Structure 1
Amino acid sequence: MRLLILGGTEFVGRAVTESALARGWEVTVFHRGRHAPPPGVAELLGDRTEEGGLAALAAVALPGDGTHAWDVVVDTWSGAPSAVRDAARLLSGRAARYVYVSSRSVYDYPAPAGLDEDGPLVEGASPDAGDDVPYALAKRGGELAVLDAFGDRAVLARAGLVIGPWENVGRLPWWLTRIARGGPVLAPGRPDAALQYIDARDLAAWMLDAAEAGLHGPYNLVSRPGHTTMGELLNACVRATGSDAELRWTDTGRILAAGVEPWTDLPVWLPPGELYDTLHQGDVGRAHAAGLRCRPVEETVADTWAWLCDIGGTAPQRADRPPTGLDPATEAKLLAG
């Protein structure tokens, strides 16, 4: 299989590249040159946000036997839908299939617990939109752009919460770093709160499998509800880091009354309610029936900690995402009661 990955050097893109290389695929990485891709790939440089930025892709000659230059394209873009539109149009005759890493945010909010791929979608999305649209509209606009160019040759991978090695958003790395410092740690809500997420490597593996199998259409890509719990996640962090951290489970009402923001100040965690149902209670039967397998939380946490240690303990941070994590003074105040 010949893979073109648009990105391929960070987080989900990196996981896709590594997974394809492990399968013995021929991998071409199209990126801006800001980060080195893994060894063993072919590189094409360009900035899809600039005029003429796709020239390197356009210059790739088609095989003389009438086949495509690539069997599959994987696109992780989360910015302007117009960038997805331009890439998909250019590649429609050069690639057999297009896998777009979308998001479960494309569903009309609030998404009730148990919502599957047939749920109502956000309105107002356009494949021609620029950078000035909210995330949900950007992702839905990207979906529309891919469908317009590839039709039933497109897979829309609607990912949920993504964690694992190479994370550049700061969720699991923040918890690992905080717990590694040891001492009393504010643990939010109830330890039995069910979580729904996906390891970037499991997402990558499923997308490549889907491309090989000729799947098409939308799939919710996340673990089953209750794959793990908040308590299991944080205890796995304690074990992975080997710290003396003491998890202090704290009432949700006290946390919210202190002005602490779920999801951002305390990554991954959400109190019961609409947003919790939307992000941690989605229906994923279709993806699991199509072969999705999610590794145990213990493995995800341990591998993420090993990666963090290997790169010096400081995780990369995407410039377009705000830093996450609870202010130490606020944590100390809550712990003091």
Structure 2
Amino acid sequence: MDILILGGTKFVGRHIVEAFLQGGHRVSILARGQSPDELPAPVERLRGDRGEAGGLNALQGRRWDACVDVSGYTPAAVRASAERLREQVERYVFISTASVYAHPERHPVREDDPLLPPSADDVNEVTGETYGPLKVRCEEIVQEVYGERATILRPQIVAGPFDHTARYPYWVDRAARGGEVLAPGDGTDHVQVIDARDLGRFSVKIVEGGIGGVFNLAGPRLSWAEFLQVAGAAPVTWVGVHELRAHSLGFRELPLYLPDNDAQGGLMDVDNSRARAAGLTLTDPAQTARDTRAWSAGAGLEYALSPEREAEVLAALRGA
């Protein structure tokens, strides 16, 4: 099959491109050319920016079996590509997010749960507040244009090699450094991510099977005690929510941590049963940890919680 990827050079897009290549398909990407490109040579590189006039000219006169939109964040950009490609692709797969849900405190979060109010079509600034509403509106546009030919994928936090977000990699890098690990909570809260390679393989299955609809993409749900054991962290000192707040430690310093009873806690309890019924397969969490660490060991990522600050907090807690 002939596949067009909008984006494709960064973390999630790169894994999707590689999954289609591994499936024996021909891949073209449309990218601005501003990010490092380490994709395999057989990938066709098209240049364009759908946010600019004439930014989709490279697509003129071409046809693909499917388009996978990895880089759609604003209604204007998604409408431009969706309408331009209406007669040029058979299926439009939009990579959305689990952040579209209006009640992320629910357990579990399911595809039919209410969504946030959509943003206005002229909103083009992506912030923590606008991200979810923007994606809701982008989903609506894709569904309006493509109907049954639309597929919406809602991944939660994505993990794996090439993850420059410094969220999941913090924990495997911290475990590899050794020494006493400051761990959030008491070990009974939960963490859940989706391996980017599982997202990529599911994208291929959706396209090959012509499967439409909306799918949450989430991996195995682990307790924090299980997760840190998988990451290889030891010894671990658990620090409760109140103590974390007292020392100004939150999601930025201790990424992935959302207490089960948090207002966002349902985002670590995302139901994946619909996607699994459609063919989603999940990588062993231990494999995700090993492969991410093999990459991050040489990636030079920077983290909000420095070793010195972590040691300072642990010392203060011992003296309390």
1:17 aligns with 2:17: yes
8 A Cα contact 1:127 1:145, kept in partner = no
Q: What CA distance in whole angstroms lies between the structure 2 residues aligned with 1:334 and 1:3?
A: 50
Q: What CA distance in whole angstroms lies between the structure 1 residues aligned with 2:120 and 2:87?
A: 23
Q: Give the unaligned 5+ runs of structure 1.
A: 63-68, 240-244, 316-322
Which residue in 2 is equivalent to 1:252?
A: 241
Question: Could you tell me which of 32, 39, 42 is aligned with 2:41?
Answer: 39
Q: What CA distance in whole angstroms lies between the structure 1 residues aligned with 2:108 and 2:226?
A: 23
Per the TM alignment, residue 156 of structure 1 is displaced from its structure 2 partner at its CA by: 0.5
Q: What CA distance in whole angstroms lies between the structure 2 residues aligned with 1:42 and 1:159?
A: 26
Per the TM alignment, residue 124 of structure 1 is displaced from its structure 2 partner at its CA by: 3.5
Per the TM alignment, residue 215 of structure 1 is displaced from its structure 2 partner at its CA by: 1.4
8 A Cα contact 2:104 2:267, kept in partner = no
Identity %: 38
Q: What CA distance in whole angstroms lies between the structure 1 residues aligned with 2:199 and 2:142?
A: 19
Per the TM alignment, residue 159 of structure 1 is displaced from its structure 2 partner at its CA by: 0.8
Which residue in 2 is equivalent to 1:272?
A: 260
1:291 partner amino acid: G
Which residue in 1 is equivalent to 2:294?
A: 306
Residues 251, 129 of structure 1: alpha-carbon distance in 2 compared, 3 angstrom cutoff: closer
Q: What CA distance in whole angstroms lies between the structure 2 residues aligned with 1:175 and 1:167?
A: 13
1:38 partner amino acid: P
8 A Cα contact 2:118 2:134, kept in partner = no
Q: What CA distance in whole angstroms lies between the structure 2 residues aligned with 1:151 and 1:234?
A: 43
Q: What CA distance in whole angstroms lies between the structure 1 residues aligned with 2:136 and 2:201?
A: 23
Residue correspondence of structure 1 range 92-241 to structure 2 within 5 A:
92-131=86-125, 134-224=130-220, 226=221, 228-238=222-232
CA offsets per residue over residues 23-61 of structure 1, 9 Å max, x none?
11000011111321332211101122222111111x2x2
8 A Cα contact 1:3 1:28, kept in partner = yes
Which residue in 2 is equivalent to 1:319?
A: none
Which residue in 2 is equivalent to 1:66?
A: none
Q: Give the unaligned 5+ runs of structure 2.
A: none
2:305 partner amino acid: L
Q: Secondary structure, in 3 states, of the residue corresponding to 1:273?
A: coil
Per the TM alignment, residue 202 of structure 1 is displaced from its structure 2 partner at its CA by: 0.2
Q: Secondary structure, in 3 states, of the residue corresponding to 1:38?
A: coil
1:287 aligns with 2:275: yes
What TM-score do the two structures reach when normalised by structure 1? 0.86
Q: What CA distance in whole angstroms lies between the structure 2 residues aligned with 1:276 and 1:217?
A: 25
Which residue in 1 is equivalent to 2:57?
A: 55
8 A Cα contact 1:267 1:325, kept in partner = no
CA offsets per residue over residues 243-291 of structure 1, 9 Å max, x none?
xx53222223211222211x22101111232335321122222111111
Q: Secondary structure, in 3 states, of the residue corresponding to 2:187?
A: coil
CA offsets per residue over residues 4-41 of structure 1, 9 Å max, x none?
11111111100000111111100001111132133221
* Displacement over 4 Å in runs of 4+: none
CA offsets per residue over residues 286-330 of structure 1, 9 Å max, x none?
111111111111000111111223xx2324xxxxxxx75324444
Residues 214, 42 of structure 1: alpha-carbon distance in 2 compared, 3 angstrom cutoff: same
1:326 aligns with 2:305: yes
Question: Could you tell me which of 68, 72, 80 is aligned with 1:74?
Answer: 68
Per the TM alignment, residue 151 of structure 1 is displaced from its structure 2 partner at its CA by: 1.2
Q: Secondary structure, in 3 states, of the residue corresponding to 1:27?
A: strand
1:306 partner amino acid: A
Per the TM alignment, residue 203 of structure 1 is displaced from its structure 2 partner at its CA by: 0.8
Q: What CA distance in whole angstroms lies between the structure 1 residues aligned with 2:124 and 2:10?
A: 23
Q: What CA distance in whole angstroms lies between the structure 1 residues aligned with 2:126 and 2:169?
A: 29
What TM-score do the two structures reach when normalised by structure 2? 0.91
8 A Cα contact 1:159 1:220, kept in partner = yes
Residues 78, 247 of structure 1: alpha-carbon distance in 2 compared, 3 angstrom cutoff: farther
Q: Secondary structure, in 3 states, of the residue corresponding to 1:266?
A: coil
Residues 173, 35 of structure 1: alpha-carbon distance in 2 compared, 3 angstrom cutoff: same
Residues 266, 82 of structure 1: alpha-carbon distance in 2 compared, 3 angstrom cutoff: same
Per the TM alignment, residue 2 of structure 1 is displaced from its structure 2 partner at its CA by: 1.0
